[in-house]
């Protein structure tokens, strides 16, 4: 497995690296740090960017060396890029054949430094692989024992199940399947129940310990986060519920709210990335 960590030297990014190291020790992954020099116009003098790039390189080298000193068997490298952060992260994930991208977040007030505004959401949407977002204040590390897997009535809901099962098998974790009913309409509930049954069958075949729970909610994001936090969960797995009708790629509001509100790491999977059971 190959993991990319977005590195801007913020507290959140450094915590994401620690999280990635924990993951890599379990799944036997190699890590590549990616630092992006934003090409947005500024008033810096000519050559100033080169100085910034040089300083960043020294910090990246020191960071890589520190990890290697602690974990000699772990393969870790770095890459410096220049351009739009979300595009360069996506390009790096493609060229590195990354299986997973991990980025640090700052919670409900947004993402730190390079991840400010829509960059983080665009990283999640544009990257060709799943992305884990980790809060800067998350202190449990990347040891996963309980995964929350929300299932609703939407067509893409089961596409995240295979990834969740893979992680559960790596970590010997259990999965809480959370059936979310957004409506009392019989047709909606029937579709949701169908996806829950298929999910349960898949996880049983994958030999993953599974618990089934249900909730009725008009606020999916808050309900999912509340459930995960109250049950001492270690990871929430969601779809990005993208706006496919848009010319731009825009992450859906439920996903944004879960990523922003959750104190627990969130694994975001794009539609069509993973296996579906339809």
B/e letters for 102-139, b = 16+ CB within 10 Å, e = fewer, are bbbbbbeeebbbbbeebbbbbbbbbbebbbbbbbbebe
Instruction: Compute the mean pLDDT over every residue in the chain, rounded to the nearest whole number.
Output: 86
Tens-place pLDDT, residues 101-125: 999 986 544 444 444 345 777 888 8
Domain 146-269 has CATH 3.20.20.70: no
pTM, full prediction: 0.88
Whether 272 has a pLDDT exceeding 80, the answer reads: no
Q: Which residues face 174 on adjacent strands?
A: 146
Which residue's entry shows tokens 């986060």?
Answer: 225
Judge whether 2-135 and 146-269 match in fold.
yes
Q: Domain locations in the chain?
A: 2-135, 146-269
Question: For residue 115, which of 137, 77, 89 has the smallest C-alpha distance?
Answer: 89
Tens-place pLDDT, residues 188-199: 899 999 999 999
pLDDT given at position 48 = 56
62-89 average pLDDT score: 95
Which pairs from 182-190 meet CB under 8 Å and 24+ separation?
A: 182/152, 182/153, 182/217, 182/218, 182/220, 183/153, 184/216, 188/153, 189/153
Tens-place pLDDT, residues 122-178: 888 889 999 999 998 999 999 999 999 999 988 888 999 999 999 999 999 999 999
The CATH superfamily of 2-135 is HUPs (3.40.50.620)
Which tokens is 187 given?
């047709």
């Amino acid at each position: 497995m190959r993991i990319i960590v977005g590195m801007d030297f913020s507290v959140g990014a450094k915590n994401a690296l620690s999280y990635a190291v924990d993951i890599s020790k379990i799944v036997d992954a190699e890590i590549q740090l990616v630092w992006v020099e934003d090409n947005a116009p500024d008033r810096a003098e000519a050559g100033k960017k080169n100085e910034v790039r040089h300083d960043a390189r020294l910090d990246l080298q020191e960071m890589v060396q520190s990890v290697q000193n602690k974990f000699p068997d772990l393969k870790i490298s770095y890459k410096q890029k220049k351009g739009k952060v979300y595009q360069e992260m996506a390009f790096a994930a493609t060229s590195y054949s990354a299986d997973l991208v991990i980025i640090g977040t700052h919670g409900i007030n947004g993402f730190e430094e390079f991840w400010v505004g829509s960059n983080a959401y665009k990283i999640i949407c544009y990257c060709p692989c799943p992305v884990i977002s980790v809060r800067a204040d998350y202190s449990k590390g990347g040891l996963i024992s309980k995964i929350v897997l929300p299932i609703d009535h939407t067509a893409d809901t089961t596409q995240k199940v295979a990834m969740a099962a893979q992680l559960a098998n790596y970590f010997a974790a259990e999965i809480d399947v959370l059936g979310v009913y957004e409506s009392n309409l019989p047709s909606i509930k029937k579709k949701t129940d169908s996806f829950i049954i298929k999910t349960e069958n898949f996880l049983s075949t994958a030999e993953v310990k599974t618990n089934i729970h249900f909730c009725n909610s008009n606020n999916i994001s808050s309900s999912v986060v509340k459930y995960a936090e109250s049950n001492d969960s270690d990871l929430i797995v969601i779809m990005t519920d993208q706006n496919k009708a848009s010319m731009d790629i825009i992450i859906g509001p439920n996903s944004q709210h879960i990523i922003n509100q959750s104190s627990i790491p969130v694994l975001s999977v794009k539609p069509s990335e993973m296996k579906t059971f339809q």
